[in-house]
Structure 1
Amino acid sequence: MDSADSTAGAASDGAVPQGVVPTGAVLADAVLAGRSTDARLPPGDFGVVLATLRARRGWSVRQLARRANVSEGQICNLESGVRNPTPAVAAACDAAFGTGGRLAELAGPGRRGARVEEVVETGPMVAGYERVLRELRDIGRSTGPRFVTASLKSITRILTDAAPHSVGDQRAGTWLLASRFAEYTGWMAQEAGNPAEALRWTSLAVRWGTEGGDESVAAYALVRKAFIAQHRGDGAAAIRYADQAAGHPAADPVIRAHAARRAAQGHARRGDARACGEALERFMGHTAEAVGGRASSSGPSWGPSWGPSWGPRVENGNPRLLEASCLLALSRFEPAADLFAAELRRRPAVPADSNSQARFAVRHATALVGVGRLDEACHLVEATLPVIKRIDSATVRTELGGFADLARTRRAGPGQLALIDASAALALGLS
């Protein structure tokens, strides 16, 4: 979750301009405010458009079914393409979304109905849901898990229901996209503070990735375990899982880069600067290899366009911010504070990536506390607290708890103490 595309062009009153399909921060703000984002229907057939609109509203299958007064099974069948909408159902969905008859018009040409036990054409569905996943990621970066989890789970169910009834390359592509949805659902579970659920979804991602012919997700699952261990403060386990991921037979340069990143932070937490530095060098080397490989390959023709690659795009990460984070973990506060300040000044603000911005802001503030610049640190955290409350990320709250713990050891004034107490309460989920 290290980057996202920014979105511009919203009207001055915050409404979505006519003819523009919103993404990123604009879309997330619209979802939060409860405004319509359906100025123009997204591309795709009726089922894909229905799922996209539902994802944009943050509705579960059950919520849409209740609003349209149809069964949940009907919604699932429509979104997966197993059934075509009747005029009455299309009109009910139109009314639920307020799309002014456009959904009914889209349903008009229709497609030949497919019974569940027959072969299902999943190619268009995979292409459509790949776009939906990108939109859900944009929303997740800006708003946290609560507005995307229901959609992720319901679309995953649709994909796994359809995959056994597809054949050949389409079958593989459907399983791989289901695996991708499961992997991101696991990440959202982790962000919601439920590591057991995160591991369960990650295990499903491994199973479905294997169904689609990709073993590399099993290697990436070890990276996810390393991250969970890191956030519960178990540096030894984080290093162990990271090393297992790097040595996995199916690990590619992207996964090895992610593994090196987790290893570097694990070694830093254990106070081993030499091993941390070696892991940072591996991260740089694997990242260069991954970027070169992506530049020279168009990916497989049979699957979704993102290809068999897992985790955030490593080229979008900032190695200097990773180095600063490691310096902070090593309690080398002054160089960490200087490096955070320099890189965050250079790093362009990406409104849709609130999670990363909040995380690095809190780390910067913690480094400032370490060098005795408590007033600056408190101002930085005070400006970031509204974002932290909005995204409600367990991983960011862990960072905030570290800030509060260190700040409590410093001499603070009444206003600073109030901010530290508020930060500690938010870190514990008490506010």
Structure 2
Amino acid sequence: MQRIPVGFGAELRRRRIEAGLSLGELATLICFSKGHLSKIERGVKSPSHDLAQLCDSALDAGGQLSSLISTPGQSPAVGPLTEADVSTPWTLRMHPGGESDFVAFDPASLVGGAMPSTIVSWSIAPPFLESGETNAALPYFREAFDEFRRLGQIFGPAVVAQLCIAATSALRGMAHHARPAHRDDVLRLASRFAEYTGWMAQEAGSDAASLWWTEQAVQLAADGGDDELAAYALVRRAELALYSGDSVATVQLARRAAQQARSARIRGLAAQREAQGHALVGDRDACRRALDRGAELTSGALPPGDEDPVLGSIHLPDLTAFVAGWCMHDLGSPAEAVTLLGDGLDAIPLRSRRARARYGARLALALANVGEIEQACAIAELVASHVALIDSATIRADLLRLSRALNRWPKNPTVRRTLPHLAIGLHTHRTGPVSPA
């Protein structure tokens, strides 16, 4: 990739004006388009050696312009990376058709409100793929989705969301060149990447971004002939309402999802969300009815791996028990919650840090509220260490409740040792305001 020579565009413009030529007149003289020449003067595009030579001749510059760029075949000197090199800011703008524009800026030009100076730009055109090639690429993207989902169990949105956004954009561009028979498959897979991006946004504490990406996922899925994701989007919105403490909206959205969904799994997830909404206001009977309905609907095996990726959590070994335990705690029955959650943490693989932290936070909270302080603190320290890595706003909400529960025993030496760990887990490393659920 060729670096844009610093100062070439400005020097070209100075010499052109000094020669009394308009941009169009110089473009005519050297047989290049006016738009191309304008981008070079503005530093958006990199000049070729041939263009520099033509400008030298047209402006009687005596080779001065050519000297500002490296000659053909000559590799620029490569020195060790400096701090400025590794801290260079860049942008990647992604277009609906699959095109992208990459621009890197000179950090020194970003101070004082001046117009940023471009170091390098790159217009990335989407490849033209035969329909068979598009279809052959899909299994690789499916494998990437599964890998990103696993990566989301280990790291936070700062790592995973960027990968999912890029994959969504690539698939959205590929859909433009796919045959109708394959286009739906491409769009449905793009919708799963977009939906997972929305989940990462929620974990990062941005409810607005989470809703936006979820709506993008719904539209992509609908364009691919799948309207079931629209029902799942209501389940996701119910979850956001749940974390904000809005029990009425949680129940209403969950019921709408159940009415709209066709698959037993989505109806089951909606029933579980409804149960959690009832638990918020202490409606035990309605909560148990919804839990029973959710357990029955989600009791079947997950769809085989060669179909569209499964919506909803796949890393908790017993989602029904987890939701039931959550509900029992919110209903004021922490002992029942401990019974339901007691053995589940050990069944979650060690590599699934996000699932272990989510499960562990709820279990530790229930243990603290039945007075099992030593065990609650042991799990709390595990959760805090995971949250610092996976950056989860939703788990931090539970961690905050756990911290308050443990503060009821301020003189307990184990609690006093654990609370600083929780404080680290609650720290978000952010400088701006966020909206953790």
TM-score (norm 1): 0.67
Q: Deviations over 1:16-57 (max 9, x none)?
A: xxxxxxxxxxxxxxxxxxxxxxxxxxxxxxxxxxxxxxxxxx
Q: Contact conserved, 1:60 with 1:151, CA < 8 A, in 2? A: no
Match of 1:23 in 2: none
> What is the Cα deviation at residue 139 of structure 1?
0.5
Secondary structure of 1:221's partner?
helix
Q: Give the equivalent residue in structure 2 for 1:291.
A: 301
1:153-164 alignment, distance < 5 Å: 153-164=165-176
Q: Structure 1's 218 and 334: CA in aligned 2 closer, same or farther, altered over 3 A?
A: same
The amino acid of 1:343's aligned partner reads G
Which residue matches 2:182? 170
The 5-angstrom pairing of residues 25-424 of structure 1 reads: 72-74=122-124, 77=126, 81-82=127-128, 121-248=133-260, 250-288=261-299, 290-291=300-301, 294=303, 305-307=306-308, 309-313=310-314, 316-345=317-346, 347=347, 349-413=348-412, 416-417=415-416, 419-420=418-419, 422-424=421-423
Show CA shifts across 1:247-283 (max 9, x none): 11x4311111111111111111211111111111111
State the Cα distance separating 1:414 from its structure 2 match: 5.6
In structure 2, what is the Cα distance between the partners aligned to 1:163 and 1:371? 54
8 Å Cα contact 2:134-2:178 kept in structure 1: yes
State the Cα distance separating 1:404 from its structure 2 match.
Answer: 1.3
Higher relative contact order (CA 8 A, sep 6+): 1
In the alignment, the residues of structure 1 paired with residue 234 and residue 166 of structure 2 have an alpha-carbon distance, to the nearest angstrom, of 25
1:200-220 CA deviation, whole Å, 9 max, x = no partner?
Answer: 000001111110001111100
CA shift digits 1:324-348 (9 cap, x unpaired): 2211111211222233223335x2x
1:220 alignment partner AA: Y
The alpha carbon displacement at 1:127 in A equals: 1.8
In structure 1, C-alpha distance between the alignment counterparts of 2:414 and 2:397, rounded to whole Å: 22
Matches of 2:386 and 2:306, distance apart in 1: 32
For residues 392 and 153 of structure 2, the distance between their equivalents in structure 1, rounded to whole angstroms, comes to 10
Over 3 Å counting, the alpha-carbon distance change for 1:175 and 1:60 in structure 2 is: farther
Contact 2:364/2:380 (8 A) holds in 1: yes
1:368/1:60 Cα in 2 relative to 1: closer, same or farther (>3 Å)? farther
CA distance in 1, matches of 2:317, 2:137: 28
CA separation of 1:420 and 1:237: change in aligned 2, threshold 3 A: farther
| Structure 1: 5+ residue stretches without partners | 1-58, 83-113, 299-303
- Does the C-alpha gap of structure 1 residues 120 and 242 become closer, same or farther in structure 2, counting only changes over 3 Å? same
Amino acid aligned to 1:335: E
Would the alpha carbon gap of residues 427 and 251 (structure 1) be closer, same or farther in structure 2, given more than 3 Å must change?
farther
Identical pairs, percent: 33
Q: CA deviation at 1:70?
A: 8.6
Distance 2:243 2:198 in 1: 15
When residues 312 and 368 of structure 1 are mapped into structure 2, their CA distance, relative to the original with a 3 A threshold, is: closer
Q: Secondary structure at the match of 2:343?
A: helix
Q: Contact conserved, 1:370 with 1:406, CA < 8 A, in 2?
A: yes
Q: Which amino acid aligns with 2:397?
A: T
Aligned residues: 320
Q: Cα gap change, 1:343/1:150 in structure 2, threshold over 3 Å: closer, same or farther?
A: closer
**CA-atom RMSD in angstroms:** 3.0
Q: Is the 8 A contact 2:374 2:414 kept in 1?
A: no
Q: Does the CA contact (< 8 Å) of 2:131 and 2:182 recur in 1?
A: no
Is the CA contact 1:245–1:251 (under 8 Å) kept in the aligned structure 2?
no
Distance between the aligned counterparts of 1:328 and 1:192, measured in 2? 25
**Offset of 1:71 from its aligned partner?**
5.8
* 1:212-231 Cα distance to aligned partner (Å, 9 max, x none): 00111110000010111111
**Retained in 2: the 8 A contact 1:156–1:182?**
yes
After TM superposition, the structure 1 stretch with the greater mean CA deviation from structure 2, 175-184 or 404-413, is: 404-413
426 and 246 in structure 1: CA distance in 2 versus 1, 3 angstrom threshold? same
Using structure 2 for the length normalisation, give the TM-score: 0.66
- Higher mean Cα deviation, 402-411 or 206-215? 402-411
Q: Letter of the aligned partner of 1:167 in structure 2?
A: R
**Structure 2: runs of 5+ lacking an equivalent:** 1-89, 94-101, 105-118, 431-437
Structure number having the greater strand percentage: 2
Change in CA separation of 1:314 and 1:384 when aligned onto 2, cut-off 3 Å: closer
1:60: Cα distance to partner?
9.8
Structure whose alpha-carbon radius of gyration is higher = 2
Is the 2:364–2:376 Cα contact (8 Å) retained in structure 1? yes
| Partner SS, residue 188 of structure 1 | helix
Q: Indicate how the Cα distance of structure 1 residues 61 and 352 shifts in structure 2: closer, same or farther if over 3 A, else same.
A: farther
Any conservation in 2 of the 1:246–1:255 contact (CA below 8 Å)? yes
